[in-house]
């Protein structure tokens, strides 16, 4: 099982900037996997102090 954690933003970013960064990061990381999305079981987003929220 491979787990990855990547910082995609900071508190001063707008919502649009965060969405853009998340989109780029997810697409890049999935492209590194041999079977792309077939190898992704779950995708979560989490703030520093918040609970994880499942995206996929």
* Per-residue pLDDT tens digits for 13-35: 999 999 999 999 999 999 998 99
What predicted TM-score, i.e. pTM, was given to this entire model? Answer: 0.79
Percent of the chain with pLDDT over 90: 68
As a whole number, the mean pLDDT across the chain is 92
The residue segments making up the domain with residue 20 are: 15-54
Please, which contacts does 6-13 make with residues 24 or more away whose CB atoms are closer than 8 Å? 8/45
Q: Assess if residue 4 is contained within a domain.
A: no
Which pLDDT does position 4 carry in this prediction? 83
Q: Assess if residue 36 is contained within a domain.
A: yes
Q: Assess if residue 7 is contained within a domain.
A: no
Q: Assess if residue 5 is contained within a domain.
A: no
State whether residue 48 is helix, strand or coil.
Answer: coil
Domain count, the chain: 1
Are the C-beta atoms of 55 and 45 separated by less than 8 Å? Answer: yes
């Amino acid at each position: 099982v491979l787990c990855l954690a990547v910082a995609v933003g900071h508190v001063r970013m707008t919502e649009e900037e965060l969405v853009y960064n998340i989109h780029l990061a997810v697409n890049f990381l999935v492209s590194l996997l041999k079977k792309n999305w077939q190898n992704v079981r779950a995708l979560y987003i989490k703030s520093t102090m918040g609970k994880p929220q499942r995206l996929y």
